[in-house]
Amino acid sequence: MNIIEEEINKPTVFKNESKLSADFIPNELPHRKKELQRMAQVFKILLQSPGSASRNVIMTGPVGSGKTAVVKRFTNMLKESSLKRLINLKTVHVNCRKNRTPFMILKTIVRYFDPAIPKRGFSTEELLNILSEYLEDTGTFLLLTLDEFEYLIDENHNLLYGLIRLMDDKLNPVQRLYLILITKDISFREVLDESTLSTLQQNFIRLAKYNSEQLRDILNQRVLLAFYDGVVLEDSISLIADIAAESGDARYALELLWNAGKIADASNVLQIVPEFVRDAKSKTIPVIRIDLIEELSLHQKLLLLAITRILKHDEKAFVTTSELESHYQLICEEFDVEPLKHTKNWQNIKVLKEFGIITSRVSGPGYRGKTTLIGLPDAPAEELGGEIERQILRRIEEHARKIRT
Ligand SMILES: Nc1ncnc2c1ncn2[C@@H]1O[C@H](COP(=O)(O)OP(=O)(O)OP(=O)(O)O)[C@@H](O)[C@H]1O
Ligand SMILES: [Mg+2]
């Protein structure tokens, strides 16, 4: 008996699992047509009269409301139309959570044009100039998307000012840069100067969170693509839509659907019944995204692990900073890692808060003196703790392997 063969030949509810993956974007996006039309209105000038005027869009909306999907779908269509008209348009999508600084972002953009560009040795200013010269010399138009812009670390807004300078029609007779900013947090606008703001604020598109009916349409579309006919019960779809409607998050809805399918397969049942959805709900961590945790530094993870352990063990809603620090010391010992000093820990706590992974507030009555209380907004401490532990162990193992070889 060959277990691998058996596994491969096992009956499954999935016809094509990849249609549920995070990077699959369907051709039609239910309930986002108006927004796509709005973008077409803004950017059509790029096809009708390339270079005559610059355009930009700020897109905002809550988690899983389709910001990235809408923009990627749109840029693909624009690219298609530009090819048909022999317009030299490049579309570049940069994620600011993965490229946190102006330097990294510009390097990523310039790499699209010249993969051979050296890793080091350029200032942001120089990279901006290289980009501008490249566009000029080759007659290229660039539609640049900066996604998850809220993660950019750029106190003086050098990147934004630099890019806007490239979009200044007094400086550039031919407009080569078109910009889309995607962000959950629009407060960055508060600190920009008047003229930058007036350039940037031309078009503001806000996506609302999805309601239950809308989520049902999104789910139904994927059910047709990803599952065999009739395996997903109507009631199960409604249940998923209702659960996810609380946050209005389409990603969460699709994850629940996928997990429910996995549970059906594991139970050798060729139907996704509501019970599997409920089971999936208890196994899916909402709000906190695993990929976000993966990108944390080792000590940020150790701190987070300490928080989850205290919360789980004491069944409390909050952790004080002194509790946290002493527990963090213990965990460092457990994993044989040198603990960081207080100020560093404090910075790391700030990062975790900025990412929305933890909440913190100053204590009120019932606590002696003022102390900071740290909590987890939504994720169950136990699941989160388990996930972090796995990641830390993996990382320590990798490190040990590197040392050995
Ligand atoms: N209208 C829609 N039709 C079909 N699928 C959708 C729709 N809106 C979102 N999705 C899917 O839901 C998931 C989440 O969407 P997306 O990544 O665009 O959200 P987002 O607003 O960018 O979230 P975040 O703020 O976390 O980056 C993706 O898999 C996307 O393909
Ligand atoms: Mg996104």
Tell me the per-residue pLDDT of 127-147, one tens digit each, with 9 for 90 and over.
999 999 999 999 999 999 999
Q: Examine the pLDDT at 216 and tell me if it is beyond 90.
A: yes
CATH number at residue 340: 1.10.10.10
Considering the domain boundaries, does residue 26 fall inside one? Answer: no
Which residue blocks in 227-297 are alpha helix, DSSP H?
Answer: 234-245, 250-266, 274-283, 290-294
pLDDT for the residue 366: 66
CATH number at residue 116: 3.40.50.300
pLDDT for the residue 71: 98
Q: Examine the pLDDT at 120 and tell me if it is beyond 80.
A: no
The predicted-structure confidence for 160-177, as pLDDT tens digits, reads as follows 989 988 887 677 789 999
pLDDT for the residue 344: 93
Nearest Cα residue to atom 15 of ligand 1: 66
| Together in a domain, 84 and 201 | yes
Is residue 250 within 6 Å of ligand 1 at its C-beta? yes
More confident residue, 28 or 375: 28
Is residue 66 within 6 Å of ligand 1 at its C-beta? yes
Mean pLDDT, range 11-21, rounded to an integer: 95
Report yes or no: 370 and 362 within 8 Å, Cβ to Cβ.
Answer: yes
Considering the domain boundaries, does residue 279 fall inside one? Answer: yes
Which range scores top for mean pLDDT: 121-125, 143-147, 279-283?
A: 143-147
The total of structural domains in the chain comes to 3
| Together in a domain, 46 and 171 | yes
| Together in a domain, 49 and 117 | yes
| Share in percent of the chain as helix, strand, coil (round to 5) | 55, 10, 35
| Together in a domain, 199 and 70 | yes
pLDDT for the residue 402: 75
Q: Examine the pLDDT at 379 and tell me if it is beyond 70.
A: no
| Together in a domain, 151 and 269 | no
Question: In terms of residue numbers, what domain contains 38?
Answer: 33-206
Q: Examine the pLDDT at 202 and tell me if it is beyond 80.
A: no
Mean pLDDT, range 377-383, rounded to an integer: 71
Q: Examine the pLDDT at 359 and tell me if it is beyond 70.
A: yes
Q: Examine the pLDDT at 317 and tell me if it is beyond 70.
A: yes
More confident residue, 211 or 118: 211
| Together in a domain, 41 and 183 | yes
pLDDT band at 74 (very low <50, low <70, confident <90, very high): very high
What Cα–Cα distance (Å) separates residue 260 from each residue in 2, 7, 97, 244, 288? Answer: 27, 19, 29, 14, 19
pLDDT band at 387 (very low <50, low <70, confident <90, very high): confident
pLDDT for the residue 358: 86
Q: Examine the pLDDT at 314 and tell me if it is beyond 90.
A: no
Report yes or no: 233 and 278 within 8 Å, Cβ to Cβ.
Answer: no
Which range scores top for mean pLDDT: 96-105, 248-257, 349-358?
A: 248-257
Is residue 93 within 6 Å of ligand 1 at its C-beta? no
CATH number at residue 260: 1.10.8.60
Considering the domain boundaries, does residue 401 fall inside one? Answer: no
Output phi, psi for 98, to 5 deg: -90, -25
Considering the domain boundaries, does residue 37 fall inside one? Answer: yes
Task: Give the global pTM.
Answer: 0.76
Test site for ligand 1: of 70, 251, 256, 357, most ligand atoms within 8 A of the Cβ? 251
Is residue 292 within 6 Å of ligand 1 at its C-beta? no
Q: Closest Cα to residue 31, out of 207, 186, 167, 185?
A: 207
Distance 187 CA to ligand 1 centre (A): 22
Nearby residues for ligand 2 (ion, Cβ within 5 Å)? 67-68
Considering the domain boundaries, does residue 55 fall inside one? Answer: yes
Q: Examine the pLDDT at 179 and tell me if it is beyond 80.
A: yes
Nearest Cα residue to atom 26 of ligand 1: 63
More confident residue, 169 or 107: 107
Query: Quick one: DSSP state of residue 51?
Result: T
Mean pLDDT, range 352-368, rounded to an integer: 78
Mean pLDDT, range 47-56, rounded to an integer: 93
Distance, CA of 191 to CA of 188 (rounded, Å)? 6
Which tokens in the block code for residue 232? 């997903």
pLDDT band at 288 (very low <50, low <70, confident <90, very high): low
